Structure 1
Amino acid sequence: MDFSAGVEDEVFRDEVRRWLAEHLGEEWLDGREDFGVRRRWERELGLGGWVGIGWDRAYGSFGNRGATLTQQVVWAEEYAAARAPERVGHIGEQLLAPTLIAYGDDAQRKRFLPPVARGEELWCQGYSEPGAGSDLAAVRTAAVRDGGTYRISGQKIWTSLAREADWCFVLARTDPGERRHRGLSFLLVPMDQPGRIEVRPIRQLTGTSEFNEVFFDGAVARATHVVGGPGAGWRVAMGLLALERGVSTLTQQVAFADELRGVAREAVRTGAVDDPVLRDRLVRQWAELRVMRWNALRTLGPAAGDAGAPSVAKLLWSGWHQRMGELAMQVRGAGAACGPEPWTADSAYELDTAQRQFLFSRADTVYGGSDEIQRTIIAGRVLGLGGGRER
C-alpha cells in the first residue's frame, strides 16, 4: 500500500494544522498535566469532529469525517507534533469503538459510539488480574446471570484511567464449567456503582499512580451489554488487542522522536556526544525508530492480517524505549541520579521529565503483554513452532 501523501491528504493536513493552531491555546497547553483540563479538551475535540475520524459515518454522532487511512496517519502525527494534551479518550475511541463496530450489535453501537465521538464518556480496560496478566485466559473474575443482568465479582489490576472512567469493558468468566479460553464474555460495565466497585491507585517507581486495582463486588452489567454474545469473550478480546497496535503507534513514535531529539541536544550540551560509543548509540536509536515507522505503516496496509504483526510491533517499541531511557541517563552522567537543587526533604523524590521517563520505561517490556509472551505468539502463529496456541 502506498502511504505517501496525495493532494487530498495535504489539503487535510492544512485543515488539521489550522484547527490545532486556532484551538490549541494556552488554556490547554498550560494545563496539559491536569486531568480536568484534558477531559474538557476531549470534548473540544469532539465538538470539532476529531474523535473517531476513521469510523464509518453511520456510527458517528456528528462531525465524523470518514477519513482515509493516510489521513488518519496525518492527524495522528500532526496532533503529536503540536504537543497537544495527552488523550484521555483513547481507550474508548481506539479500542472500544472499533471493537463494537466489528463485534457489537446495532443497539450497542447506537448507545456507546456517539458519547465517545462527543468526548463525553471515558473508558478503561478490565483485562489483567493478579494471577492472569500475560496469561489472560486464566482470568477468574466471574459474571453470573441474574435475569436481565450479570453480577460481577473479582479483581482487575493495572487498569489505566479507572478512577476517571465512566465505563469499563471487562473480560469475565460467565460459564464456570469451561476452562481457559472457553466460557469467557466481554461485558460493558458502568463504573459508577458505589459499594460494588472499588478503585485503589497503585503507586509506581515514578511516585505517580497511573495504574489502579479494581475490585468488583456484585457489580451489575446489563445482559444486552455483552459484546458478541455470551461465551465469545476470547474472540472479542483478541480482536481488540490487535487494534491496540494501529495508527496510534505512529503518534507514539512522534513522541519518541521528540525524546530522541532532546537526548541528542543534551549530549551536545554536555559534550557526551564526543564519545564515539555513545554517538553510535544515538545513531542506532534514530535508525531503529525509522524501522519502527515503516513497520507500523506496513501493518496498516497489506500486512494488516499478519498474525504476528502486533507482537513484532510491541517488541520493537518496548525495547527501543527502554534503551532510550538508559541512554538519556548515560548522557547526563552521575547528575542523572540527583534530584533538583537546592535539595529539601519535600523535594527528595521530585523527578524531571527524563528521570520519570527512564523509570516508567522499565515497565515497557512487561505491560501490554510481556516480551516473553510476544515471542511465544510469534513462535506459534508465525513460525509454527508449537507456541502461542490456545490451550
Structure 2
Amino acid sequence: MDLTFSSEDEAFRAEVRDWLAENLVGDFAALSGLGGSGREHEAYAERLEWNRHLAASGWTCLGWPVEHGGRGLSLSQQVIFHEEYAKADAPGRVNHLGEELLGPTLIALGTAEQQARFLPRIRAVEELWCQGYSEPGAGSDLAAVRTKARLEDGRWIIDGQKIWTSLAHQADWCFVIARTDSGSQRHAGLSYLLVPMDQPGVDVRPIIQLTGTSEFNEVFFDAATTSADLVVGEPGDGWKVAMATLGFERGVSTIGQQVGFARELAAIEDVARRSGRIADPIIADRIARATVGLEVMRVHALRTLSNIDSGAEKSRGFESIAKLIWARWHRDLGELAMDVLGASALGVGADYALDEWQTLYLFSRADTIYGGSDEVQRNVIAERVLGLPRESRP
C-alpha cells in the first residue's frame, strides 16, 4: 500500500487549497463550520447558494466520468479535495444524497434517458434528493419494506410510509424502495423508483430529535405517482440497485469526515488542557486512545481506497467494517467530550440552546444506528466475509 501522493496530486492539492482560500470570503466566510452532522438546519439557504457556487466553478461531482458531466478525477485527487475542504472548515454541502449516492447509481445502472434527465441537475445543484429506504419495522432490516407500488396507466402508484428520511422537507425528489411484486417477500419483488416530492400524494412530517432539530422526517405516500420509466434497473430488481447505492454511500467522502473528526478531537483535547482535566490519567488515556483510533480509521480507509484505485478487487465487507469503526469511535468521542466538560455539560441555555459539545454528544448517540446499525454490520461481516451460518430469522 502506497499512502503517498504524486507531485501531480500535490499540485492539485494546492489548486484546491487556493480556490477555497479565494472563495470562502465575504458572506461565504460566515458559513465556516456550519451544517455538519446534526446541524443540517444551519444557514440552509446560504449553504445551498455556496453549493451552487461550487458547481458553477467545477467543484461538484469530481469523480463522475467526464461524459456524465463530472471531472473524472482519480480517487487520490478526490481524497485530496475532501481533505482540503474539511481542513478549510468549509460549510456542509446540501447535495450529498444526489451527488454521492443517486448520481453514481444512475451512472452505473440507470438508462440513458434517466442519466440525461437527472445528472445535469444534480451536478448543478438544481434538484435535491432524499432517500426513501427505512420504514417502521424495516429500518436495519431493509428487506422487510412494506411500501407498495403498482403500475397503472403508465404510472407507478405508490402507497406506504418511510421514516428517518434525511432532508425530505427540502428535497425535490426521492429514490424509493417499494414492493412492486404483489405477494413477494424479502429481497425479491422490490423496485427502485424515482419519485417527485412536490405532489398531493406526498406528506412530509419532521421528527423532533434530542438536539431540538429535525433534519429527519416521516414521509407518507398516499397514491403518490411517478412515471413508469422512472424505475432504475428492472422492476423487481430493486434490491441490487439499493445495495449499489449503499456501496457508494461509504466511499471517498469518508476521508473528509475523518478530518472533521480530527478537528473535534483536537478541540476537546484543548478544552481538557485549558481546564486541567488532562491531568486526570483516565482522561489522558482516553484522548490517546481516540488519537490512535482515528489513525487506524484513516489508514484502513486509505488502504481500501488505494486497492480500488489500483484496480484490485474491492475489499469484501469494507463498507460494514468502515461503518463499525467510525460510528463507535464518534459515539465514544461524544461521551469523552461530556466527561471533559464535567458538570458544566449538564446545563442548557434558554429555549434549549445546546452548545457544540452537547449537540455532538446527543447526535452521535445515533451514529451506531443510522446508515445500518452495528448489529446489522456485524451480521454482514460474519455471513458475507467470514462465511459463518446465517442468523436465524422468523
TM-score normalised by L of structure 2: 0.94
8 Å contact kept, 1:160–1:212: yes
Tell me whether 1:35 sits opposite 2:41 in the alignment: no
Paired AA for residue 287 in structure 1:
V
8 Å contact kept, 1:379–1:388: no
Instruction: Choose from 285, 304, 314 the match for 1:305.
Output: 314
8 Å contact kept, 1:51–1:117: yes
Tell me whether 1:218 sits opposite 2:218 in the alignment: no
CA distance in 2, matches of 1:212, 1:299: 33
CA distance in 2, matches of 1:28, 1:148: 45
Shift of 1:28: 2.0
Alignment match, 2:385: 382
Alignment match, 1:122: 128
Alignment match, 1:286: 291
Alignment match, 1:324: 333
CA distance in 1, matches of 2:29, 2:177: 36
CA distance in 1, matches of 2:49, 2:100: 19
Q: Which moved more, 1:294-303 or 1:263-272?
A: 294-303
Alignment match, 2:14: 14
TM-score normalised by L of structure 1: 0.95
Paired AA for residue 106 in structure 1:
A
Alignment match, 1:268: 273
Q: Which moved more, 1:304-313 or 1:36-45?
A: 304-313
CA distance in 1, matches of 2:188, 2:379: 21
Paired AA for residue 152 in structure 1:
I
Shift of 1:259: 0.4
1:172-210: CA deviations, max 9, x gaps?
A: 0010121110000000111111x2101000000111111
CA distance in 2, matches of 1:199, 1:351: 26
8 Å contact kept, 2:317–2:384: yes
In angstroms, what is the RMSD of aligned CA positions?
1.5
Instruction: Choose from 73, 84, 88 the match for 1:82.
Output: 88
Instruction: Choose from 92, 104, 116 the match for 1:110.
Output: 116
Instruction: Give the 3 Å change call, closer, same or farther, for CA 39–354 of structure 1 in structure 2.
Output: same
Alignment match, 1:176: 182
CA distance in 1, matches of 2:328, 2:118: 35
Say which SS state the counterpart of residue 301 (structure 1) adopts.
helix
1:194-252: CA deviations, max 9, x gaps?
A: x2101000000111111000001111111111001201100000111111111111111
Q: Which moved more, 1:122-131 or 1:2-11?
A: 2-11
CA distance in 2, matches of 1:43, 1:390: 46
Alignment match, 1:166: 172
CA distance in 2, matches of 1:53, 1:84: 17
Shift of 1:277: 1.3
CA distance in 2, matches of 1:113, 1:390: 39
CA distance in 2, matches of 1:87, 1:102: 23
CA distance in 2, matches of 1:296, 1:227: 29
Instruction: Choose from 321, 324, 333 the match for 2:342.
Output: 333
Shift of 1:348: 4.6
Instruction: Choose from 256, 260, 269 the match for 1:251.
Output: 256
8 Å contact kept, 1:125–1:170: yes
Instruction: Choose from 100, 103, 111 the match for 2:106.
Output: 100
Alignment match, 1:343: none
CA distance in 1, matches of 2:359, 2:251: 26
Shift of 1:390: 11
8 Å contact kept, 2:3–2:303: no
Tell me whether 1:370 sits opposite 2:373 in the alignment: yes
Alignment match, 1:5: 5
CA distance in 1, matches of 2:91, 2:351: 28
CA distance in 2, matches of 1:181, 1:227: 16
Paired AA for residue 114 in structure 1:
P
CA distance in 2, matches of 1:83, 1:159: 26
Paired AA for residue 58 in structure 1:
E
1:132-165: CA deviations, max 9, x gaps?
A: 0000000000111012210111000000110111
8 Å contact kept, 1:381–1:389: no
Instruction: Choose from 206, 212, 215 the match for 1:207.
Output: 212
Tell me whether 1:47 sits opposite 2:40 in the alignment: no
* Structure 1 residues not aligned, in runs of 5+: 341-346
Instruction: Give the 3 Å change call, closer, same or farther, for CA 86–390 of structure 1 in structure 2.
Output: farther
Paired AA for residue 189 in structure 2:
G
Say which SS state the counterpart of residue 229 (structure 2) adopts.
helix
Instruction: Choose from 54, 57, 68 the match for 1:59.
Output: 68
Alignment match, 2:37: none
CA distance in 2, matches of 1:124, 1:358: 25
Q: Which moved more, 1:258-267 or 1:109-118?
A: 109-118
Paired AA for residue 169 in structure 1:
F
* Structure 2 residues not aligned, in runs of 5+: 35-41
8 Å contact kept, 1:45–1:119: no
CA distance in 2, matches of 1:29, 1:140: 45
CA distance in 2, matches of 1:224, 1:155: 22
**Identity over aligned residues, as a percent?**
57
CA distance in 2, matches of 1:3, 1:228: 37
CA distance in 2, matches of 1:356, 1:103: 38
